[in-house]
Amino acid sequence: MSFSVGIIGLPNVGKSTLFKALTKKKVNIADYPFTTIDPNVGIVIVPDKRLKQIASIIQPEKTIETVIKFIDIAGLVKDAHKGEGMGNQFLSYIRPCDAVIEVVKAFGDSNPEQDIETIKNELLMKDRENNDNVLASKPKIYLFNIREKINLPEIPNSFVIDLKTEEEASELSPDEIKELGIQSKVDQLILACYNILDLITFFTITGGKEARAWTLKKGSDAITAAAKVHTDFAEKFIKAETIPWQKLIEAGSWNKAKELGEVKTAGREYIAQDGDIIEFKI
C-alpha cells in the first residue's frame, strides 16, 4: 500500500507545475482555471541514499525503492463547498489522501495569507456538512510558489520554491542540472511529505537477491512489518533478525555482521526502527 498526498490550492497557483516537477510526467498545464478536472496521479520514488549503500554491499539482482502517490487536484475557489467551480467534486478527491501539499502563489499581485484563509474555510465548511474534521485536520505542507523575494507569513511545515525553475529542471539531465548549478528542492519536499505522515523505512535483502525499502508507520511492531512484506511472514512468524543499516555497511557483509554480533534476534513485539534491515524467519 502506498501513501497518497493531494496537491491542493486555488486555480493557477502552480499545482500542475509542481506535479510535473515531482513526477516528471507530462500533464496539461495552462494559465486558466480548471485545466485539471480529473486528478492526475503519479507515483514518486522516495529518495533514500541508504538503500543504495545497502545495495553496494549486498550486490542484489534487483533494488526496489519505496514510493508515495501524488494526486494533482484541480483548483478550489471560494464557496467550493457549495459546488462553485465543481468544488464538491474536487473536495471529494482530497478526502482519501493521507496528507496534502497546499500550493500558495507568492508573486505578482498575490495575497498568500488571504489565499490560505480561503482554502482553510472551504475545508472547514465541507467538514461541517459531513459533521467531521477529516479535511481540515489532514497533515499539511504549505508550498509558497515564488518568482522573487517576498515577505511571507511564518508557517510551520512550509517550503519556499520557484516552481517554474523546478519544472524546467525536471526536463534536464542530472549532468545538465549540475552544470547549471540548479539546487532542486523536490527531493526535500518528497521527504517532508514522508516525514509529516509519521512514516519510517525498513529494508529487506531477501537472501542477497533483492534489496528493498518498505514504508511503515512509526511505532509498528515486527508482525506489522512482516505483513508488509508478505502475509505468510506475519502468520508464520517465528522470529526476526535485525541490524541497523549503518552496522551492515561497517561490517561489509551480512555474515561478517553476524560474526561481530551486530545482527540481533527480535520477537513479535519488537518495534521496528527507521533504517532497520530485517530478515523474517518462518
Q: What is the pLDDT of residues 88-133, one digit of tens each?
A: 677 888 999 999 999 999 988 889 999 999 999 989 988 888 888 8
Give the pLDDT confidence score for residue 85 in this predicted structure: 56
Does some domain include residue 261?
yes
Q: Is residue 226 located within the same domain as residue 260?
A: yes
Q: Is residue 11 located within the same domain as residue 94?
A: yes
Q: Is residue 264 located within the same domain as residue 183?
A: no
What residue numbers bound the domain in which 160 lies? 3-46+66-196
Does some domain include residue 36?
yes
Does some domain include residue 90?
yes
* pLDDT tens per residue, range 186-219: 889 998 998 899 999 999 998 778 999 999 999 9
Q: Is the pLDDT of residue 242 over 60?
A: yes
Give the domain-ending residue among 196, 228, 243: 196
Give the pLDDT confidence score for residue 258 in this predicted structure: 94
Does some domain include residue 53?
no
Q: Nearest CA to 101 among 197, 5, 19?
A: 5
**CATH code, 265:** 3.10.20.30
Does some domain include residue 192?
yes
Give the pLDDT confidence score for residue 78 in this predicted structure: 79
Q: Is residue 14 located within the same domain as residue 86?
A: yes
Q: Is residue 120 located within the same domain as residue 185?
A: yes
Q: Is residue 86 located within the same domain as residue 117?
A: yes
Instruction: Write out the H or E segment, with its range, that includes residue 175.
Output: helix 174-180
Q: Is the pLDDT of residue 144 over 70?
A: yes
* pLDDT tens per residue, range 9-49: 998 899 989 998 888 755 555 554 555 556 788 888 888 99
| Burial of 120 per CB tally in 10 Å (0-12, 13-18, 19+) | middle
Give the pLDDT confidence score for residue 224 in this predicted structure: 95
Q: Tell me how many domains the chain contains.
A: 2
217-238: average pLDDT: 92
Give the pLDDT confidence score for residue 179 in this predicted structure: 86
Q: Evaluate whether 60 touches 211 at the Cβ level (below 8 Å).
A: yes
Q: Is the pLDDT of residue 140 over 70?
A: yes
Three cell numbers, residue 100: 496534502
Does some domain include residue 201?
no
| Burial of 187 per CB tally in 10 Å (0-12, 13-18, 19+) | middle
* pLDDT tens per residue, range 49-66: 999 999 999 999 999 998
Give the pLDDT confidence score for residue 119 in this predicted structure: 92
* pLDDT tens per residue, range 70-89: 999 888 877 776 766 555 67
Q: State the sign of the Cα–Cα–Cα–Cα dihedral 193, 104, 74, 140.
A: positive
Q: Is residue 179 located within the same domain as residue 273?
A: no
Please count the other Cβ atoms lying within 10 Å of the Cβ belonging to residue 252.
11
**pTM for this prediction:** 0.85
Helices (H) and strands (E) in the chain, counts: 11, 12
Q: Is residue 102 located within the same domain as residue 166?
A: yes
Give the domain-ending residue among 161, 196, 231: 196
Give the domain-ending residue among 196, 211, 237: 196
Q: Is residue 103 located within the same domain as residue 156?
A: yes
Q: How confident is the model at residue 145 (pLDDT cuts 50, 70, 90)?
A: very high
* pLDDT tens per residue, range 150-184: 778 888 899 999 998 888 888 888 888 888 888 88
Q: Is residue 274 located within the same domain as residue 185?
A: no
